[in-house]
Amino acid sequence: MFSEKFLKRLIKTNGVTVLTGAGISAESGVPTFRGKDGLWKNRDVMQMATQQTLKSDPELFWEFYNWRRELLKTVKPNLGHYALVDLEKQFYDFNLITQNVDNLHFIAGNTKVLELHGNISKTICNECGHEAEENEDVSGAVPVCSQCGGVMRPGVVLFGESLPQKALSDAQEAAATCEVFFSIGTSAVVEPAASLPYIAKGNGAYLIEINTERTPLSEHADEVIIGKAGETLPYLIMALDRY
Ligand code: OAD
């Protein structure tokens, strides 16, 4: 599955950076964004995750996010997530960049996680930026800010919004300085995350993609593994143990 050349290179590497997308959580039962999963009540999920929907129809916006939050309460990390915990333990300079907002990398046990698109468990005010405390009640159909009375939103990046600056610059640095870069379970089309593999490759990293299908990144990768993250990553850990 993984080439000998890659395994030999990986074992000698200090710097490993991993980018994950919705595909790594698919085997946990979290729907992806594109393809057949990208619909909620026959609506495009990407249309739900916008300021426009929050402003024009906050009830619908929050119905969608409350549905996602409830769903996430029922899911657990899968073997792909756990394999990345093992990978973090094996490399001195390890960074995990995720576009996922589902918290599953932290729940699995990774500690060095850069969340590029935020975290759905947080609730912040769309007007004044106040972040709800853990004991604050945000369970209403449309949660309202305790400080300014404004409409709240989950702590995720909505379409068209900027990414958290620190997480993005740390991610760009992790991409620029690693020796091996993994792109796992992402369609590799949403910027600026989509540029990270190219930054890595431009700085001499070995680029490896793991996905159930080819993506626009595939032709630029040094190695493409077609398969499920939850099956291929445990195999990688097993192969590394034998080297
Ligand atoms: P996508 O839904 O665009 O892509 C998921 C990718 O995972 C696809 O390329 C699938 O082929 C692949 N895949 C599915 N199951 C897999 C499995 N078991 N193992 C490996 N790969 C698998 O999700 P993202 O690339 O994460 O942004 O999307 C990027 C961003 O677009 C999201 O973070 C979100 C979305 O709009 C925001 O909400 C800001």
Would the pLDDT of 39 be above 80? no
Average pLDDT over residues 1-6: 93
Taking CA atoms only, the protein residue closest to ligand 1 atom 14 is: 23
Residue 54 has pLDDT above 90, yes or no: yes
Instruction: Identify which of 78, 99, 236 to mutate to test ligand 1's pocket (most ligand atoms within 8 A of the CB).
Output: 99
In the predicted structure, residue 82 carries a pLDDT above the cut 80: yes
pLDDT value of position 137: 85
Q: What is the pLDDT of residue 36?
A: 73
211 Cβ below 6 A of ligand 1: yes
**What is the number of the ligand 1 atom nearest to the C-alpha of 35?**
2
Q: Where are the domains of the chain?
A: 4-30+77-117+162-241, 35-74+125-156
Contact 25 CB / ligand 1 (< 6 Å) = no
- Check pLDDT > 80 for residue 159: yes
Backbone angles phi, psi at 191, to 5 degrees: -80, 155
Mutate to test the pocket of ligand 1, among 84, 163, 190, 235 (most ligand atoms within 8 A of CB): 190
Report how far ligand 1's centroid is from the alpha carbon of 211 (Å).
9
Is 105 a residue of the active site? no
Closest ligand 1 atom to Cα of 101? 33
pLDDT at 135 over 90: no
Average pLDDT, the chain: 95
For the purposes of burial, counting CB atoms within 10 Å of the CB of 151, is it exposed (0-12), middle (13-18) or buried (19 or more)?
middle
> Could you tell me the distance, in angstroms and rounded to a whole number, from the CA of residue 130 to the centre of ligand 1?
30
pLDDT recorded at residue 33: 86
Q: Is 186 in the pocket of ligand 1 (CB under 6 A)?
A: yes
Question: What DSSP letter does each residue of 167-201 carry, written as one string?
Answer: HHHHHHHHHHH-SEEEEES--S-STTGGGHHHHHH
Read off the pLDDT of each residue in 146-170 and give the average, rounded to a whole number: 95
Q: What is the pLDDT of residue 147?
A: 94
195 CB under 6 A from ligand 1?
no
The pLDDT value given to residue 177 = 98
pLDDT of residue 104: 98
So what's the pLDDT on residue 227? 97
pLDDT of amino acid 164: 95
List Cα–Cα distances, 58 to 14, 49, 145, 152, 155, in angstroms: 47, 11, 14, 9, 15
In the reported structure, the alpha carbon of residue 189 is separated from the centroid of ligand 1 by a whole-number distance in angstroms of 9
**For residues 243 and 21, what is the distance between their CA atoms, to the nearest angstrom?**
28
pLDDT in tens, 169-193: 999 999 999 999 999 999 989 999 9
CATH topology of domain 35-74+125-156: SIR2/SIRT2 'Small Domain' (3.30.1600)
Instruction: Determine the pLDDT at residue 219.
Output: 98
Tell me yes or no: is domain 4-30+77-117+162-241 CATH 3.40.50.1220. Answer: yes
Decide: 68 in ligand 1 pocket, CB within 6 A. no
